[in-house]
Structure 1
Amino acid sequence: MPVLTSAATAQGGREGVVRSSDDLIHLELGMPKDGGGAVGKSNPEQLFAAGYASCFDGAFNLIAKKAKKDVESSTTAHVSLEKDPEDDGFKISVKLAVEVKGVSQEEAEDLLQKAHEFCPYSKATRGNIEVDLEITAE
């Protein structure tokens, strides 16, 4: 039984619009400026990056709390769109970069691995896309 279900509808694909069912998200989509697109429009990779970063940072903090570690963290998800040589199409890859205060580098790396095992986005992508992990303890 679901704990939460969210819905969003896209119309027009990468050059269209996406809107959440509650209208909190209502974005025009387009190719990124560095890809020749217009300024001021989002893209699916940004939306995925926002979701993964926020989910992973929440998972990281929950794992730290369970380990009785008092941390401050931030997670940046770098989502790349790449050519897929297998089918001449495209695929995505992710690099999660976490910065954390309150633990040693060794403790941070342990928490990072545990968070990656726990995070729902990590579970959903495991074995499907390349996800690189990086952590810096300050």
Structure 2
Amino acid sequence: MHPTAAVLRPLSHRVLTGSGVRYARNLDPSSRRILTGVGSRKLKPNHMQTRGILSLKDHVYFSKAEASGAGRNGIVKSFGDAPLELKMSMPKSTGGKGDGQNPEQLFAMGYSSCFLGALQLAAARANKKELAENAKVTAKVFLGHPENPDLDGFGLRVEINVEGCSDDAIIAQAHEFCPYSRALKHGAEVTVTKS
């Protein structure tokens, strides 16, 4: 198996936040303020953040899934302790039949579950376990066209809503700790191979 080359576009004109990519030209020049999902922070003039990649020193678990058939209208299988097989289908709003699951649904399910676990852990670490015991987390995953005209195809936007826990510090800690949030905020190491 040999890695294939990936083409990366420079991030020189983009500002990265915990809630995704925002273009510097779209920021309000008078305030230079970016909302990060939990609060806002002030930017210094002409201040741009570069994005690194979060690397793992080890792994304690891995999941394997395989897609076959007609891509987003094919079959996806996961392997492991509780194998799962799903029929995939493009949503009706994108011209599909909508008679199966789609990747955005699965991503939203995984993200909401993971964020809830991170929220409960953050509350327990702060000796406020009761604050998150009855919490619910909703993840909305939006599929749409990127604003950047150089990017073809689709992109994602995510909104997380926490219900039943109003402690901003605990929610912020959960957002920092959740692996899904980290992958979107810091980047994840991705290797593409062929066999």
Please, what TM-score do these two structures have when normalized by structure 2? 0.59
**Structure 2 CA distance, aligned partners of 1:48 and 1:39?**
17
Q: How many residues align?
A: 123
**Gaps (5+ residues) in structure 1?**
129-138
Deviation for aligned residue 1:110: 1.4
Instruction: Name which of 52, 74, 83 aligns with 1:24.
Output: 83
Q: Hey, what does 2:177 align to over in structure 1?
A: 118
**Gaps (5+ residues) in structure 2?**
1-57, 188-195
Deviation for aligned residue 1:43: 0.4
Q: Hey, what does 1:92 align to over in structure 2?
A: 156
Q: Which protein shows a greater Rg?
A: 2
Distance 1:44 1:120, change over 3 A: same
RMSD: 1.6
Please, what TM-score do these two structures have when normalized by structure 1? 0.81
CA displacement, residues 6-64 of structure 1 (integer Å, 9 cap, x when unaligned): 10001131111100024632111111133332243000101111111110000000001
The one-letter amino acid paired with 1:79 is: V
Query: More strand per residue: 1 or 2?
Result: 1
| Percent identity of paired positions between Structure 1 and Structure 2 | 42
Structure 1 outlier segments of 4+, above 4 Å:
none
Describe how 1:1-138 pairs up with structure 2 within 5 A: 1-11=58-68, 12-22=70-80, 24-69=83-128, 70=130, 71=132, 72-86=134-148, 87-101=151-165, 105=166, 108-126=167-185
**Structure 1 CA distance, aligned partners of 2:156 and 2:113?**
18
